[in-house]
Amino acid sequence: MPSLVARERLFQKTENFVNKQVAQMIDDNTLPEYAQTKEVTVFFSDVRNFTPMSEAMGDPQLVINNFSEYFGATASCIEQTRCTVDKFIGNSIMAVWRSMHNLEKLAENAINTSLMMGAALRKFNVERGSAK
């Protein structure tokens, strides 16, 4: 049986490749054996003017740092509505409601998440000196 430290390290490494809910299901040994068909709501969000903005930053590390903070702020909004961050695609986020949790009001949750993300983005921009 692996030590607690080794198990935690394995869990953290797993989270680097799959979303948190899937990593937790793997850790808990509750991952379904077969895929299931479900009605879900899918949400995509990407950064407007990403290419010119990242070119203006000049430093690739600055781009990475800014997007890590941005994704952290927006993913937090997604997780608050019990949504699953499916993946990060370049400068985009794909999220799915009801893939991991049996939820009601899927579209309402998606709208609420987008409103929360808008507020988080305004705060993010203000903290960086942008008026937008």
pLDDT tens digit string along 77-91?
988 888 888 888 888
* Contacts with 46 (C-beta within 8 Å, 6 or more apart), sequence order: 90, 91, 92, 93
Please name the CATH architecture into which domain 38-127 falls. Answer: 2-Layer Sandwich (3.30)
Q: Which pLDDT value is given to residue 103?
A: 66
Q: What is the pLDDT at residue 16?
A: 65
Helix boundaries (H) for 1-132 = 4-15, 20-28, 50-57, 60-80, 106-127
The alpha carbons of the chain give a radius of gyration, in whole angstroms, of 17
What's the pLDDT tens digit per position in 17-35? 666 777 777 778 877 788 7
pTM of the model: 0.69
CA 132/CA 124 separation, integer angstroms? 10
Neighbours of 78 (CB within 10 A): 25
Residues of each domain in the chain carrying CATH 3.30.70.1230? 38-127
